[in-house]
Structure 1
Amino acid sequence: MARQLDGKTAIVTGATSGIGLAIAEGLAAEGATVVINGLGTQQAIAEAVERIQNRSPDGGVHHREVDMRNPDEIQAYMNAVEEKHGAIDILVNNAGIQHVDQVEDFPREKWDDIIAANLSAVFHATAAVLPGMKVRDFGRIINIASVHGLVASLNKAAYVSAKHGVVDLTKVTALENAERNVTCNAICPGWVFTPLVEAQIEKIAQTEGISVSDASDTLLREKEPTLRFTKAEEIAAAVLFLLSAAGANHDRQLSYIGWRMDCAMIFRRTGC
């Protein structure tokens, strides 16, 4: 039986765990050839590749090492994928890192790394794939932003700044390609239980001298009305909708997909 992404090649950055891994699994299940990168030990990377492969034995999955803070490596990464597979049909910009500190205590190198990995990488990857997408008159770019692309939190100056930038870059990209069959959307999840968030919970517990369970509740109460974590698979489902025929031409400036006010806000086409 044909699947909606048969014959398509997709890149998912930051896909060795968490949201990116769930997205890569979802794309593979729909028949895409998936190319991933991400942090982790060799064993963790191998396990991620195996999980994705198991969802689509005939679709294929490939892992490539790339430093998403380095524009030259990003360009080489995109060129290599296009040369090997003939086209990049789908780009999911998901890679991200985090550091928590007050503005005056925020290490300069951490600021630079987060802006490079969370914002500049999205720009460089997008700029690298757009020419081919325009020539073929087909492309789907999905940026995994964050609720922190819409609102702020204490002690996250770099992350909040980067994610706001991703949301606005999404709008510009969508506007510039509004008359083509090339779309660009941003998904802004609330709290998703990933290794990145797990580390934040552990830091809250340590800093405030409370249990991990209480720290988890503290984090959720900050911005999560349902008081539960979103599942990575739920974000993957939103991505698959945007790749489907049903999601190909949403005319609304702001479309909400999901189950809570901050779960998945998607900017599309008209840019708002």
Structure 2
Amino acid sequence: MNERFLAERTALVTGSVQGIGLAIAERLAEAGAAIVLHGLASPATAAEAEATLRRAGAPDVLFLDHDLRDPAATEALMDRALAWHGGLDILVNNAGIQHTASLIEMPPERWDAILAINLSAAFHTMRLALPGMLARGHGRIVNIASVHGMVASVNKGPYVAAKFGLVGLTRVAALECAAAGSRDSGGVTANCIAPGWTETAIIEPQIAARAAQFGGDRVAGVADLLREKQPSLRTSKPSEIGEVVAMLCRPWAHNINGITIPVDGGWTAQ
């Protein structure tokens, strides 16, 4: 099987200077895609991420740092990304933020920011990427949701609302693009991936809170988190999420459309 199956394809991965996003971008680069790298990052962090993608095999990399809380900035991001190599073949909406607090204690500005980045930005990128995909009869939209797009947890109101919304939005997109293209052209698909506990910076505050219950023992804090939700008792690595994204971008995946794939050690099977 040709492992450079994305040669001459272009992918935008939002929130891709670290964590899951960078791992996804790196995997797509290994498959031959030119990568639009995105994130709010220092020049040094952006340069390091770009170097990682070039080492992985990306034939070209474009770094953009538009703030996805602002619809106008998101449109500007898409203008640049779509013009760079004549369109996008792959769109991965990965950018996300989190804040844990009860509904009555959740700062309204946090609600607004989480909904803007985790949900509204995906709407704007999808509505702007889809016309070109539909015209060419080929495209892949992969939205990084969460187990919290399938089940709820306390103290995560805006995050859960945004991720449930992202799953629903993805299903609508899947239906609207299902008949585009053909097996030969590759078709246009929209799917979600729902990671459980994954080794990224976004869960560090929750780990710290649990570790504090065990006298600062981080290992014990992680174990406690896993024991509560994830039956495998193992975290996922960001690279494992990258492999699932790559699978959905394979030519043979033209009829995998509108689904949400949990990578959660059995969390949502309970």
Scaled by the length of structure 2, the TM-score of the pair is 0.91
Deviations 1:61-116 (A, max 9, x none): 12111101111111111111222210111000000001011110000111100000
Residue 23 of structure 1 corresponds to 24
Asked whether 1:229 is paired with 2:230, we answer no
CA contact (8 A) 1:148 1:159 kept: yes
SS in 2 for 1:188: strand
Q: 1:145, 1:2 → 2: CA distance?
A: 26
Compared with structure 1, are the counterparts of its residues 254 and 115 closer, same or farther at alpha carbon in structure 2 (3 Å cutoff)?
closer
CA contact (8 A) 1:148 1:163 kept: yes
Residue 183 of structure 1 corresponds to 189
Residue 50 of structure 1 corresponds to 51
Compared with structure 1, are the counterparts of its residues 238 and 248 closer, same or farther at alpha carbon in structure 2 (3 Å cutoff)?
same
Aligned positions, number: 262
Residue 217 of structure 1 corresponds to 223
Which consecutive unaligned segments of at least 5 residues does structure 1 have?
A: 265-272
SS in 2 for 1:238: helix
Aligned residue among 208, 215, 238 for 1:202: 208
CA contact (8 A) 2:146 2:163 kept: yes
Compared with structure 1, are the counterparts of its residues 257 and 216 closer, same or farther at alpha carbon in structure 2 (3 Å cutoff)?
closer
Residue 145 of structure 2 corresponds to 145
Asked whether 1:86 is paired with 2:91, we answer no
- Of residues 62-71 and 35-44 in structure 1, the stretch that sits farther from structure 2 once superposed is 35-44
Q: 2:169, 2:47 → 1: CA distance?
A: 33
Compared with structure 1, are the counterparts of its residues 44 and 203 closer, same or farther at alpha carbon in structure 2 (3 Å cutoff)?
farther
Q: 2:167, 2:49 → 1: CA distance?
A: 28
Residue 113 of structure 1 corresponds to 113
Residue 270 of structure 1 corresponds to none
Residue 65 of structure 2 corresponds to 65
CA contact (8 A) 2:167 2:260 kept: no
Give the drift of 1:41.
Answer: 2.8
Which consecutive unaligned segments of at least 5 residues does structure 2 have?
A: 181-186
Residue 245 of structure 2 corresponds to 239
Percent identical? 45
Residue 134 of structure 2 corresponds to 134
Give the drift of 1:130.
Answer: 0.9
Compared with structure 1, are the counterparts of its residues 216 and 39 closer, same or farther at alpha carbon in structure 2 (3 Å cutoff)?
farther
Deviations 1:30-76 (A, max 9, x none): 1100001113333222211111111015x111211110111111111
Compared with structure 1, are the counterparts of its residues 105 and 259 closer, same or farther at alpha carbon in structure 2 (3 Å cutoff)?
closer
Compared with structure 1, are the counterparts of its residues 258 and 201 closer, same or farther at alpha carbon in structure 2 (3 Å cutoff)?
closer
Asked whether 1:261 is paired with 2:256, we answer no
- Of residues 89-98 and 193-202 in structure 1, the stretch that sits farther from structure 2 once superposed is 193-202
One-letter amino acid of the counterpart of residue 157, structure 1: G
Scaled by the length of structure 1, the TM-score of the pair is 0.90
Give the drift of 1:246.
Answer: 2.7
Q: 1:257, 1:219 → 2: CA distance?
A: 18
CA contact (8 A) 1:189 1:262 kept: no
Q: 2:24, 2:114 → 1: CA distance?
A: 22
